[in-house]
Amino acid sequence: MATKNLQQSNLLSIQTNNKLAMQSPNHLLKSVGQSTLNQRYNNNSSSGIYQSGLPQIYYNKQTQKDLSTKSTNNLRSLRTEGIKSESLDKSSLAKSLCIISQDELNKIKQRIKMEDDLPTYDRQAEKKKLHELSMKRIENWPDNLLNITQKKEKERYEKFEKIEKEKRLIDEQEEAYQREQYRKIIKDSNEKIFAQDPRVRQFKKSMLFSAIMQERKEQMELKKYVDDINNNYNNEQTQQMETIKMHEEEEKQKLKEKKLAQLQQMKQDLAKQLQEMKEKKIQQIMDDQKEGALIKERANEENQENIEKRRKQKQMFQDLQNQLNEEQKKKEVKEKNSQ
C-alpha cells in the first residue's frame, strides 16, 4: 500500500513538473518544492509517521525577471561546477535562493539537463499554450489565488473609481460654484461702476419719477375702478333688496287675501251649517209637537181607559164588600137564630 502511494505521488510530481517546465525558475522552485513536500507527507502518512516540522520555502520579493535570471544562473553553475551551497554568499542566498532538500535539488538538476537535451522548439509558443491551458482550467475555480487576486483588484479599482468619480463631481460642483461667484462679482462690479456715471444716475432718477407717476396713475385708475364696482354693487344690492321687499309684500298680500278668502268661506260654511241646524231643529220641534199631540191623545185615551177600569174595579170592590156584608149579616142572623 505504501509503495502504491509512493508511485502515485511520484507520478503526480512528474506531471506537475512537466506542466511547469516552461515557467520561470521561481515558479519552478515553488512548485517542485511543494510537490516534494506533498510526497514526503504521503510517504510518512503511509508508513504511520507524521512529521509536523516540514521544510519551509522562502523566496524573495524581487521582480519576476530578475529572480528568474539569478535563479537560472545559480542553478546552472551548481550543475556544471558542483559548487556546494555552503560556499554561496549569505546575502545572495537570502535574496535569490530558497532552502530545499538534496532530493529536490537533484530533481531540479535532472530537469534542467532534460531541457538541454531536448531539441530546439518554439518555447514561447509552448509556454503561451500551457499558460492558456492553465488559465482555462482555473478560470472557473472560485478559490484560486488568481481569481481572488483579480476580484480584490477589481473591487479595489471599483472603489477607487467610485471615490474618484465622487471627487470629480465635488470638484466640478466647486468649480461651477466658483465660476458663478466670479460671475456675480463681475456683474456687481460692472453695475456699481455703471451706476456711478452721472448720466446714468440722472436717467435712473427720470425712470424712477416716470415709474412713480405711472404707478400713481394706475392707482387712481384702480381706485376709480374700485369705486365704480362698489357703486354698481351697492346699486345692485339696493335693487335686489327692493325686489326682495316687493316680493315679500306681494307674498304677504297674497297670504292676507288667502286668509280673508278662507275666513269668508268659513263664515259661509258656518252660516250654512247654522241654517241647516236651525231647519233641523225646527223640523225636530215640529216632529216633537206632532209626536206630543199623539202622545197626549194616547195619554187621554189611556186615562179614560184607566178611569173606566178604576170605576169598574171600584164597582166590583163595592159589590164584593156588599156581598161580604150581606153574608156577615146572614151569619149573624143564623147565630142569633141558633141561640
Angle at 73 between CA 67 and CA 79, to 5 degrees: 130
104 and 173 fall within a common domain = no
10 and 55 fall within a common domain = yes
Q: Which range of residues forms the domain containing residue 175?
A: 142-188
135 and 104 fall within a common domain = yes
Is position 11 within any domain? yes
Query: How far is the CA of 289 from the CAs of 215, 292, 302, in angstroms?
Result: 108, 5, 19
Nearest Cα residue to 104 out of 202, 204, 162, 33: 33
Mean pLDDT, residues 70-81 taken together: 52
Nearest Cα residue to 263 out of 315, 203, 145, 271: 271
pLDDT for the residue 164:
92
Fill in the amino acid letter for 53. Answer: G
Alpha helices in 118-144 (DSSP H): 123-138
Question: Does the pLDDT of residue 205 top 50, yes or no?
Answer: yes
Is position 82 within any domain? yes
pLDDT in tens, 169-180: 999 999 999 999
Domain boundary among 73, 108, 140: 140
30 and 54 fall within a common domain = yes
Is position 8 within any domain? yes
Number of domains forming the structure of the chain? 2
Is position 194 within any domain? no
95 and 146 fall within a common domain = no
Say if CB 65 and CB 23 are below 8 A apart. Answer: no
Banded pLDDT at 118 (limits 50, 70, 90): low
Domain boundary among 140, 172, 203: 140
Is position 331 within any domain? no
pLDDT for the residue 65:
47
49 and 146 fall within a common domain = no
151 and 66 fall within a common domain = no
pTM: 0.23
161 and 129 fall within a common domain = no
101 and 126 fall within a common domain = yes
Supply the DSSP string of 287-331, one letter for each residue.
Answer: HHHHHHHHHHHHHHHHHHHHHHHHHHHHHHHHHHHHHHHHHHHHH
Mean pLDDT, residues 182-195 taken together: 84
75 and 136 fall within a common domain = yes
Burial of 151 (0-12, 13-18, 19+ CB in 10 A): exposed
pLDDT for the residue 240:
87
Is position 55 within any domain? yes
pLDDT for the residue 57:
37
Is position 77 within any domain? yes
Say if CB 91 and CB 60 are below 8 A apart. Answer: no
Q: Of 22-31, 82-91, 231-240, where does mean pLDDT reach its minimum?
A: 22-31
131 and 148 fall within a common domain = no
Count how many Cα atoms sit within 13 Å of the Cα of residue 86 in the half-sphere of its side chain: 0
Spatial neighbors of 51 by CB under 8 A, at least 6 apart, are 40, 41, 44
Supply the DSSP string of 172-200, one letter for each residue.
Answer: HHHHHHHHHHHHHHHHHHHHHHHHTSHHH
Is position 317 within any domain? no
131 and 155 fall within a common domain = no
Mean pLDDT, residues 299-314 taken together: 78
pLDDT for the residue 47:
37
Rg (CA), the chain: 76
pLDDT in tens, 242-290: 888 888 888 888 888 888 888 888 888 888 888 888 888 888 888 777 7
